Amino acid sequence: MLLSALGFALMSACVKEVSALGIPVLEIVAARAIVSGIISYADIKRKKISIWGHNKPLLIARGMVGAFALMFVYYAVTTLPLAEATVLQYLHPVFTAILALFFLKEVIQRSTFACIAISLLGLFIIIQPNLQVDGGIQYPWLSIGAGVLGAVGSAIAYIIIKKLTKTDDSSVIIFYFPMIALPISIVMLGSDFVVPSLAATGLLILVGIFTQIGQVGLTKALNSADASKATGYAYVQVLFSVLIGWAYFGEIPVLTTIIGGALILVGALVNVLWKR
């Protein structure tokens, strides 16, 4: 999950940068799907297994949910500072734990409750100044809503992935995302396609590569731990995004972001170290 978090943080940074070069969000989704599809297909062939998998209805559902969740997440990343966009996205462990309780019959452990509570406190501290009517920093409600919807979609996708790990190989599960997302994004993009420059092309390829690192780490983690437990570790991506936003984009974190990020890290550590 830590490797997955770093991969997704670097992916978000590349998405933000390539968007600044004039590439539409849907085109970024399509480019990511192409790179991810090539890597996944090669991995499936290496393993000598069928690309179609066993539980086709769930595999298709995973691709559909993942595609639309990704569009919401990318819109938030391109219209908000990296740290704030990532924090909104990382509401998903809360939704995942609740959905896992109802659909996977997983018992939410005390450590996961503690992780969620501490992390949500950190989340509130980070976002609260930005949502005040008389606050100095204001972000579009559409961007905030997209971030939350992306988190809900991600949680649903994780629940589906958790069910699929019992019937299908991780590479097949990952492959269904680009197979579904590519045609959807191309149809929705329509005539808005922009021919990318050399720099933009390189960034689009990196989006796909970092995504693959994140997806493989995530799928392997969900295969070896409860969904609510595994995704609790993912909060660490917020800290990675704060650092990248500061170092590369010059987005200086305010005091509330630093305090909230520290609480989120504490929540993740509680989840990891509870048994010890």
pLDDT at 31: 93
Looking at residue 153, its pLDDT comes to 93
Contact 51, 227 (CB under 8 A): no
CB 157 within 8 A of CB 173: no
**pLDDT given at position 128:** 74
Q: Which of 40-49, 100-109, 124-133, 241-250 has the lowest average pLDDT? A: 124-133
The total of structural domains in the chain comes to 1
- pLDDT tops 70 at residue 213: yes
What percent of the chain is modeled with pLDDT above 70? 91
What percentage of the chain has pLDDT greater than the value 90? 39
For residue range 78-118, list pLDDT tens digits in order. Answer: 998 888 888 787 777 778 878 888 887 878 788 888 888 88
pTM of the model: 0.82
Judged against a pLDDT cut of 90, whether residue 57 lies above it is answered with: yes
Reply yes or no on whether the pLDDT at 269 is more than 90.
no
| Ordered DSSP codes for 25-54 | HHHHHHHHHHHHHHHHHHHHHHHT--SS-S
Task: Give residue-wise pLDDT tens across range 124-173.
Answer: 887 776 666 665 666 777 888 899 899 899 889 988 988 898 899 888 99
Please, are residues 157 and 65 in contact by the beta-carbon 8 Å criterion?
yes
Q: How confident is the model at residue 265 (pLDDT cuts 50, 70, 90)?
A: confident
The Cα 98–Cα 108 span in angstroms is 8
Question: Would the pLDDT of 194 be above 80?
Answer: yes
Are 9 and 85 a contacting pair, CB within 8 Å?
Answer: no
> Which pLDDT value is given to residue 97?
78
**CA distance linking residue 86 with residue 8, whole number of Å:** 10
Residue 258: which pLDDT band, with cuts at 50, 70 and 90?
Answer: confident
- Return d(Cα 168, Cα 225) in angstroms, integer: 16
pLDDT tops 70 at residue 19: yes
pLDDT of 136 reads: 62
Per-residue pLDDT, 274: 72
Residues 1-15 pLDDT 10s = 888 889 989 999 999
224-242 average pLDDT score: 74
pLDDT at 221: 83
pLDDT score, position 232: 64
The range of the structural domain enclosing residue 80 comes to: 2-273
Q: How confident is the model at residue 260 (pLDDT cuts 50, 70, 90)?
A: confident
> Is 90 exceeded by the pLDDT of residue 44?
yes
